[in-house]
């Protein structure tokens, strides 16, 4: 079962009107949604989105209430998804980024470096691009850039070079083949800490699912869709995501964004958000002990002005 992270903190920030309209952009196993429904009144409405059809259908069966609308979509299409429901303003929007335990635990999805499976990693199985395509068809420079940029993998070049050498012998088909390739080219000391394939798998997953582009696309839409006083709550799991959310909220919370040194403001920019969490909210020691996934979680919240 997926254990929702920062559950109480997220829901208490998110709710500003017990009868309002809310969007859970990352339904997953529905942990946050169930807690949200338990707090809201029955006349409230929730739109729950996930791009993974399997998880959406599985969770839909466990939440049979009339005031939730389930939508199979990428959250980067948030404005269109809400327009299809005749909604143009909402009271709260939440995102709990990344993959759910459900996806990690199903070996054949190819997300886990512990289980052998075809290199897949698609959250949306309707899409064409898989991790197999990247590993077997992208150039060495492209693979290296993905591992470095999205995984902050210090051995990106070595791993990319070894992948390209190995695939000349035979295509690289499975997760454990890739794990062996990574292990064969990183220094011994690197294998003693966290799993040596962790960053490569994170990078491939981000690339396959366009995760950072989707995040960059949904944030401005969310601001436009919030009512005055409505809240945006985002839970991230690594520094790349957290940086995007932090910088976005900081910029939207500033009146003037002119370059420093100008004698007068020429941008006319006006703050649209007030940041509620100057420092990100982190799980306490007890939550980290009970749920290892929570250790890297960070919650940032802002209110629409």
Ligand X SMILES: C[S@@+](CC[C@H](N)C(=O)[O-])C[C@H]1O[C@@H](n2cnc3c(N)ncnc32)[C@H](O)[C@@H]1O
Q: In this structure, is the dihedral angle defined by the CA atoms of residues 105, 108, 111 and 117, taken in order, positive or negative?
A: positive
Choice between 182 and 232, CB closer to ligand X: 232
**Which of 6, 21, 37, 51 is in the footprint of ligand X by CB under 6 A?**
51
Q: How many residues bind ligand X (CB under 6 A)?
A: 22
Q: Does 182 bind ligand X (CB under 6 A)?
A: no
Choice between 65 and 266, CB closer to ligand X: 65
Q: Does 30 bind ligand X (CB under 6 A)?
A: yes
Choice between 153 and 241, CB closer to ligand X: 241
Q: Does 29 bind ligand X (CB under 6 A)?
A: yes
Choice between 210 and 229, CB closer to ligand X: 210
CA distances from 301 to 2, 63, 171 (A): 23, 26, 45
Return d(Cα 303, Cα 229) in angstroms, integer: 6
**Helix, strand, or coil (residue 172):** coil
CA distances from 108 to 12, 111, 114, 186 (A): 36, 8, 12, 26
Q: Does 52 bind ligand X (CB under 6 A)?
A: yes
- Interacting stretch for ligand X, rule CB under 6 A, among 71-79, 153-161, 169-177, 279-287? 71-79
**Which of 100, 175, 200, 202 is in the footprint of ligand X by CB under 6 A?**
100
Q: Does 32 bind ligand X (CB under 6 A)?
A: yes
Q: Does 75 bind ligand X (CB under 6 A)?
A: yes
Q: Does 144 bind ligand X (CB under 6 A)?
A: no
Distance of closest approach, residue 105 Cβ to ligand X, in angstroms:
12
**Helix, strand, or coil (residue 88):** coil
- Interacting stretch for ligand X, rule CB under 6 A, among 14-22, 63-71, 97-105, 258-266? 97-105
Choice between 75 and 155, CB closer to ligand X: 75
The DSSP element (H or E) to which 179 belongs, if any, is helix 175-185
Return d(Cα 301, Cα 275) in angstroms, integer: 6
Distance of closest approach, residue 5 Cβ to ligand X, in angstroms:
8
Q: Are strands 68-72 and 45-50 parallel, antiparallel or unpaired?
A: parallel
Distance of closest approach, residue 163 Cβ to ligand X, in angstroms:
25
For residue 236, what are the β-bridge partners?
Answer: 298
Return d(Cα 41, Cα 38) in angstroms, integer: 8
**Which of 14, 123, 297, 301 is in the footprint of ligand X by CB under 6 A?**
123
**Which of 9, 96, 242, 287 is in the footprint of ligand X by CB under 6 A?**
96
**Helix, strand, or coil (residue 159):** helix
CA distances from 248 to 15, 95, 113, 220, 278 (A): 22, 14, 32, 8, 13
Interface with ligand X (CB under 6 A):
2, 4, 26, 28-32, 49-52, 55, 74-76, 96, 98-100, 123, 214
């Amino acid at each position: 079962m997926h254990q929702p992270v920062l559950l109480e903190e997220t829901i208490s920030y998110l709710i500003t009107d017990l009868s309002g309209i809310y969007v859970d952009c990352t339904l997953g196993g529905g942990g946050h949604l169930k807690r949200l429904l338990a707090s809201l009144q029955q006349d409230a409405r929730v739109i729950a989105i996930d791009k993974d059809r399997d998880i959406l259908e599985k969770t839909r069966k466990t939440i049979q209430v009339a005031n939730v609308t389930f939508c199979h979509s990428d959250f980067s299409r948030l404005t269109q998804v809400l327009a299809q429901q005749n909604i143009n303003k909402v009271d709260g929007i939440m995102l709990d980024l990344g993959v759910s335990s459900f996806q990690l635990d199903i070996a054949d999805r190819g997300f886990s470096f512990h289980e052998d499976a075809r290199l897949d990693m698609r959250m949306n199985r309707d899409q064409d691009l898989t991790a197999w395509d990247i590993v077997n068809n992208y150039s060495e420079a492209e693979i290296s850039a993905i591992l470095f940029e999205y995984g902050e993998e210090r051995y990106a070049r070595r791993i990319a070079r070894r992948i390209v050498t190995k695939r000349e012998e035979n295509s690289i088909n499975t997760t454990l083949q890739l794990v062996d390739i990574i292990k064969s080219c990183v220094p011994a000391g690197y294998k003693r800490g966290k799993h040596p394939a962790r960053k490569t798998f994170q990078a491939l997953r981000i690339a396959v699912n366009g995760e950072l582009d989707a995040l960059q696309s949904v944030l401005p839409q969310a601001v436009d869709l919030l009512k005055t006083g409505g809240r945006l709550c985002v839970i991230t799991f690594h520094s790349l995501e957290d940086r995007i959310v932090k910088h976005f909220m900081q910029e939207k919370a500033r009146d003037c964004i002119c370059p420093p040194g100008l004698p007068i403001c020429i941008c006319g920019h006006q703050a649209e958000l007030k940041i509620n969490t100057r420092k990100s909210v982190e799980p306490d020691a007890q939550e980290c002990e009970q749920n290892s996934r929570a250790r890297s979680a960070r919650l940032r919240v802002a209110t629409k002005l």
